[in-house]
């Protein structure tokens, strides 16, 4: 474990917590893409499938973190699609998730480190996570604005994988550890946030709201 990965995971936890708090406190999921949250839930379940396959003694933090990620993302989907369904902005959350899931699944079968079920699921989860934020960014571009709290969520969510890139550089240099698939997907994922990062740093930090077109 290194500082970059630690802060990356903390940033990821913060993102999940910010979104849950936003929905719970405002009792509304306006401005939140339910499809993105569904895709994240799929990512966690397919990536941490080993938790279900053989019983895990919750002795180490990694197992606990995996359970937190899975339960929090499923609970967020429950809030969006059931509890606060009336506030779900289905008209603007219109990006076809199939256009993300099918290519990720296809690519996972073509480019992977080992052709076995668990590894393919893990690879699918990595590829899907890289594009899972697209419906959320698409929704913001359709509504033309993002609530400040949602911007903080996106900043934390985007920072997590950006910090992981620093973690991979660190591990390459000090542990000569390389996980090419995760690195390439992580770079693509972070690049998708660049436009938002620019808006966040030039606007939200100054207390303004993000309104598109910028």
Partner 1 sequence: PHASKKHDEL
Query: Scanning the structure block, which residue is given the tokens 């660049």?
Result: 194
Residue 164 lies near partner 1 (rule: CB under 8 A): yes
**8 Å CB contact between 68 and 28:** no
Query: Which residue's CB is nearer to partner 1, number 159 or number 167?
Result: 167
Taking the complex as a whole, the smallest distance from the CB of residue 179 to partner 1 amounts, in Å, to 5
Taking the complex as a whole, the smallest distance from the CB of residue 65 to partner 1 amounts, in Å, to 6
Distance between alpha carbon 210 and the CA centroid of its chain, in Å? 20
Q: How far is CA 32 from CA 130, 131, 135, in A?
A: 18, 16, 9
How many CA atoms lie within 13 Å of 83's alpha carbon, on the beta-carbon side?
Answer: 15
Sketch the per residue contact string, 2 through 41, with partner 1: x for CB under 8 A, - otherwise.
---x---x--x-----------------------------
**8 Å CB contact between 104 and 127:** yes
Residue 62 lies near partner 1 (rule: CB under 8 A): yes
Binding site for partner 1 (CB under 8 A): 5, 9, 12, 62, 65-66, 69, 113, 122, 164, 167, 172, 176-180, 182
């Amino acid at each position: 474990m290194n500082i970059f990965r630690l802060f990356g995971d903390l940033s990821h936890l913060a993102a999940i917590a910010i979104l849950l708090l936003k929905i719970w406190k405002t009792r509304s999921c306006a401005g939140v893409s339910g499809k993105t949250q569904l895709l994240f839930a799929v990512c966690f379940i397919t990536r941490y499938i080993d938790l279900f396959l053989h019983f895990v003694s919750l002795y180490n933090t990694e197992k606990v973190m995996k359970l937190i990620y899975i339960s929090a993302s499923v609970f967020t989907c429950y809030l969006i699609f059931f509890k606060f369904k009336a506030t779900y902005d289905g008209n603007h959350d219109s990006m076809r998730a199939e256009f993300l899931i099918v290519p990720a699944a296809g690519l996972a079968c073509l480019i992977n480190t080992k052709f076995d079920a668990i590894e393919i699921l893990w690879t699918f989860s990595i590829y899907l996570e890289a594009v899972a934020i697209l419906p959320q960014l698409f929704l913001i571009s359709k509504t033309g604005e993002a609530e400040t709290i949602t911007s903080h969520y996106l900043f934390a969510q985007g920072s997590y994988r950006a910090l992981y890139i620093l973690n991979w550089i660190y591990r390459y240099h000090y542990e000569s550890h390389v996980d090419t698939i995760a690195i390439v997907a992580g770079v693509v994922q972070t690049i998708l946030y660049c436009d938002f990062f620019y808006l966040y740093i030039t606007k939200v930090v100054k207390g303004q709201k993000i309104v598109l077109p910028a």
